[in-house]
Amino acid sequence: MDSIKIVEILNKILKPDQIKINEPMKYHTSFRIGGPCDIMVLPEDEEDVLEVIKICAQNSIPFFIMGNGTNLLVKDGGIRGVVIKLAQNFSEAVVDKDVIRCKAGLPLSNLSKLALENSLKGLEFAGGIPGTVGGAVVMNAGAYDGQMAEIVESVKVMEQDGDIYEIKNKELGYSYRTSVLQNSGKIVLEALIKLEPGSYGEIKSRMEKYSVLRRQKQPLNLPSAGSVFKRPPGNFAGALIEKAGLKGYKIGGAMVSEKHAGFIVNTGGATARDVIELIEYIQQEVQRKFDVLLEPEIKIIGEDELE
């Protein structure tokens, strides 16, 4: 890929501060891990997204859409092509009675606070979930018996040919930590969130309760990507990992959290290779001891570092 040529084209449609070259992905993931992407762009509106995708298509360049990188492990060799980051530049939200229309880059925690400010209940579970609305909608993020599938009314998406339309909840195929949007190539632009009027005090109380539980149970003091594995039927990944004696087990700078075995934390200087090797070792040990194959919940992308 001729990065210089592509940047010249992008400069005609974007501001200079919307384009980053050879950007280390460790600055854009909650794991604080990841090699450089060739080019990163920060769109401000749908037109920006459409124009960047057109440029990629015309020049046969792969692109990857991301939010805040909270459920993401980028390999040490980084990402070839263009990374389109829908985050702080793409985070407007409008409240209309009991409905919130929000852009994909809005942090889920901000959406939860906005619901509280308007005394709308249904989003209390999301207060401490890192990541953006777009990612949460795609993977059906959830916690404490709440999930996005229960509150998403519709999602506005863009196809890779630029076609934009809305998909209703019943067509999203929601199930545990997944939807039809995953690996579909569709780009989530906006979500329409339907909530219910509630008591400000009760909503705030529930949010505070969940916040205390998170601080008690999760390793919030070290970089991680949240729960590494999906919950296996009839069990909990963290419980199986702990029973396998893997709490505190370490490969390089990556360690199974001593606070919650469902988390892998970066203790300092961890590489993606460290994390991947640890994931594979956990899977191997849990399957050997309990005949359960744990399925990763985090998304792993990019290229291995050349030896």
Is 227 designated active site? yes
- For every residue of 267-278, which 3-state class applies, written as one string? CCCCCHHHHHHH
Catalytic, 177? Answer: yes
List, in order, residues 6 or more apart from 16 with CB less than 8 Å away. none
Exactly one of 30, 224, 227, 257 is catalytic; name it. Answer: 227
51 HSE (CA, 13 A, CB side):
15
d(CA 87, CA 107) in angstroms, rounded, equals: 8
Name the 3-class secondary structure at 34. Answer: coil
How far, in Å, CA of 220 to CA of 76, rounded? 24
> In the β-sheet with 152-158, what is the strand arrangement from edge to edge?
93-96, 99-103, 187-194, 152-158, 164-168
- Neighbouring CB atoms inside 10 A of 122's CB total 18
Where do the H-state alpha helices sit in 107-199?
108-117, 133-139
Residue tagged active-site, from 51, 124, 190, 297:
297
Classify burial at 163, counting beta carbons within 10 Å of its beta carbon; exposed 0-12, middle 13-18, buried 19 or more. Answer: exposed
* Torsion angles phi and psi, residue 26, rounded to 5: -65, -20
Question: Hey, what are 283's tokens?
Answer: 């899977």
Query: How crowded is residue 90: how many other Cβ atoms within 10 Å of its Cβ?
Result: 25
Which of 177, 179, 190, 231 is the catalytic position? 177
297 is catalytic: yes
Task: Give me the residue label for tokens 């087990």.
Answer: 249
Task: Give the CA dihedral 50, 55, 58, 59, nearest 10 degrees.
Answer: -150
Whole-angstrom distance, CA of residue 151 vs CA of residue 141: 11
- What's the CA gap between 159 and 164, in Å, rounded? 6
What amino acid positions are annotated as catalytic residues? 177, 227, 297
